């Protein structure tokens, strides 16, 4: 039996180091040589090192996919997620993530989860998704995301209200894990279908605040003026995304359009050593010094250009890539050349903040305004979380 990694390298059973529980990110593929259950197949493949309980947990959280051999399906198919152990036949393909990504959730206020819900009716919810958590499920985890937590909270509320109303939640919006902001979450399948049509027709307006760090006496903001900015993105399945100023000869690049509505400066006094996800960039933060002498809390004044942006097209990482292309990477957007909050807080001090070595859980991008007309009731909505 052999295992095929994403880069198609064959690793035989003699490769023992693969399963020493060192976190790896690559997906693995396994061609089954003998009919057996999924759990037994993986346990035997790894010489009995993973436990049945561990494999069951991988199944439960959606880390394992199965594809029947073409002799059975007669057509080419794709691996489908399985969440219960079952017998699979010879020639089947298993796709699995042995070490799924898990976002920490210590910054999520589960005791006051209602604060994230901006509006709710029978068809949809509008939520303020916090930084540092995926909006929906990802390929290697079904449950470690905001929508799953919201569904659990709604279930508890339903039990407390003695309600028997059942629902499924779906995400028509896409919002990156480190980005905060307003999203519609559909409760009704008819609404979901009609709202998706609104999105494709460009009839849903979303406005973002982008926070670009600047230094004292920096006049670079004159280069970001209100108006429409256009770039072209290479179509790839991976990140970071690549932008160009002009279309290529084959006309294969995707057009990226955004509109800068306004640019203003903002200063924030932030305590040294603070966690990035605990800062609300929308509020007028001004932390006062506390204590005396060596016990006095140290703060640092940070300056930002705050850019209000309306997307015209909706490409992956579009605001992040376009501002970076213009020379103005977002706060903490390391992927596109930005500096982390912790770096900005400690760059001119003798303090060593080891959190700055970690990938930030937030970036300076917030979807603060959302407006649309309900495709069912025809009621117009305009949501805003600035100074809510």
CATH code of the domain covering residue 128: 3.30.2350.10
pLDDT tens readout for residues 134-150: 999 989 999 999 999 99
The residue among 152, 182, 204 that closes a domain is 204
The reply to whether 177 falls in a domain is: yes
Residues 120 and 185 in one domain: yes
pLDDT tens readout for residues 176-213: 999 999 999 999 999 999 999 999 999 999 999 999 99
The reply to whether 384 falls in a domain is: no
Residues 142 and 284 in one domain: no
Both tokens of residue 179? 């980005």
The reply to whether 101 falls in a domain is: no
Q: Measuring CA to CA, which residue among 307, 327, 320, 312 is closest to residue 230? A: 312
pLDDT tens readout for residues 27-40: 999 999 999 999 99
On the CB side of 91, CA atoms within 13 Å amount to 6
The tally of domains found in the chain comes to 3
Share of the chain above pLDDT 70, in %: 82
Q: Is the pLDDT of residue 5 over 80?
A: no
34 contacts: CB under 8 Å, gap ≥ 6: 41, 90
Residues 181 and 214 in one domain: no
The reply to whether 377 falls in a domain is: no
Confidence category of residue 353, pLDDT binned at 50, 70, 90: low
Distance of alpha carbon 199 from its chain centroid, rounded? 19
Residues 237 and 340 in one domain: yes
pLDDT of residue 2: 35
Residues 226 and 133 in one domain: no
Residue 291's region, left for phi above 0, alpha for psi from -120 to 50, else beta, is: left
The answer to which of 32-41, 80-89, 348-357 has the lowest mean pLDDT is 348-357
On the CB side of 124, CA atoms within 13 Å amount to 27
The reply to whether 380 falls in a domain is: no
Q: Would the pTM of this model clear 0.95, i.e. be above it?
A: no
pLDDT of residue 167: 72
The answer to which of 5-14, 34-43, 286-295, 340-349 has the lowest mean pLDDT is 5-14
Residues 68 and 164 in one domain: no
Residues 67 and 183 in one domain: no
The reply to whether 217 falls in a domain is: yes
pLDDT of residue 177: 92
Residue 61 belongs to domain spanning: 3-96
* CA pair distance 358, 278, nearest whole angstrom: 16
The reply to whether 27 falls in a domain is: yes
Which DSSP string corresponds to 171-201?
Answer: --S---TT-EEEEEEESSHHHHHHHHHHHHT
The residue among 141, 176, 204 that closes a domain is 204
More confident residue, 78 or 374: 374
Q: Is the pLDDT of residue 8 over 80?
A: no
The residue among 38, 68, 96 that closes a domain is 96
Residues 211 and 168 in one domain: no
CA torsion sign for 39, 44, 46, 47 is: positive
Residues 223 and 316 in one domain: yes
pLDDT tens readout for residues 245-298: 999 989 999 999 999 999 999 988 887 777 888 788 988 655 555 555 544 557
Residues 224 and 197 in one domain: no
386 contacts: CB under 8 Å, gap ≥ 6: 209, 282, 368, 369
pLDDT of residue 94: 96
The reply to whether 135 falls in a domain is: yes
Where would I find the H helices in the chain? 38-45, 52-60, 70-73, 146-160, 189-200, 318-325, 341-346
Residues 200 and 211 in one domain: no
Residues 217 and 200 in one domain: no
């Amino acid at each position: 039996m052999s295992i095929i990694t994403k880069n198609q390298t064959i690793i035989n059973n003699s490769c023992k180091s693969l399963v020493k529980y060192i976190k790896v990110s690559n997906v693995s593929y396994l061609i089954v040589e003998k009919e057996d259950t999924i759990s037994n197949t993986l346990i035997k493949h790894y010489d009995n090192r993973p436990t049945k309980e561990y494999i069951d947990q991988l199944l439960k959280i959606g880390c394992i996919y199965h594809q029947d051999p073409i002799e059975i399906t007669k057509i080419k198919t794709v691996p489908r997620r399985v969440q219960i152990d079952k017998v699979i036949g010879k020639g089947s393909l298993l796709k699995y993530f042995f070490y799924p990504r898990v976002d920490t959730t210590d910054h999520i206020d589960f005791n006051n989860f209602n604060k994230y819900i901006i509006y709710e009716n029978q068809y949809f919810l509008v939520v303020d998704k916090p930084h540092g958590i995926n909006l929906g499920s990802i390929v290697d985890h079904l449950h470690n995301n905001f929508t799953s937590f919201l569904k659990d909270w709604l279930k508890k509320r339903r039990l407390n209200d003695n309600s028997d109303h059942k629902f499924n939640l779906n995400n028509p919006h896409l919002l990156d894990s480190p980005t905060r902001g307003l999203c519609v979450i559909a409760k009704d399948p008819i609404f979901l279908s009609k709202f998706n049509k609104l999105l494709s027709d460009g009839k849903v307006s979303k406005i973002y605040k982008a926070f670009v760090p600047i230094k004292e006496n920096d006049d670079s903001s004159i280069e970001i003026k209100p108006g429409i900015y256009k770039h072209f993105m290479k179509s790839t399945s991976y990140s970071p995304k690549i932008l160009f100023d002009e279309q290529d000869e084959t006309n294969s690049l995707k057009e990226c359009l955004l509109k800068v509505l306004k640019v203003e400066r903002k200063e924030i006094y932030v305590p040294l050593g603070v966690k990035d996800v605990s800062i609300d960039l929308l509020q007028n933060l001004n932390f006062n010094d506390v204590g005396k002498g060596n016990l006095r809390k140290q703060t640092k004044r940070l300056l930002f250009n705050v850019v209000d942006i309306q997307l015209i097209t909706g490409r992956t990482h579009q605001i992040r890539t376009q501002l970076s292309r213009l020379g103005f990477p977002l706060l903490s957007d390391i992927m596109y050349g930005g500096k982390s909050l912790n770096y900005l807080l400690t760059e001119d001090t003798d303090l060593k903040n080891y959190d700055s070595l970690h990938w930030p859980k937030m970036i300076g991008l917030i979807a603060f305004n959302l407006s649309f007309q309900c495709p069912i009731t025809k009621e117009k909505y305009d949501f805003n979380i600035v100074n809510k």
